[in-house]
Amino acid sequence: MRQRVGTCSLCGGDVMGVRGAYWSILPPPPDECASCGAMAASDVIQMHSAPHRPSVTRSITTAGTNLGEPTP
């Protein structure tokens, strides 16, 4: 089922597309403008950078030894 997924950058019309399963067809048909008939240029979704970079934490073993060191 086609649904409104955005606005056309050429004419401002409704862009209709399929989200989810589409009769077991992969990939689904490209998004299309209902007004001018323009098709989506690619399947790449434009992204913005995150407001902050996620931090990576590493756990330290509670035995007090690092890997590679012999345990007493």
Dist CA 16 CA 2 (whole Å): 6
Smallest CA-to-CA distance from 17 within 36, 30, 7, 26 is with 30
pTM of the model: 0.54
pLDDT at 65: 55
What confidence score (pLDDT) does residue 13 get?
93
30: Cβ contacts below 8 Å, ≥ 6 apart: 17, 39, 40, 43
Percentage of residues in the chain having pLDDT higher than 90: 25
Q: How far apart are CA 33 and CA 68, in angstroms?
A: 60
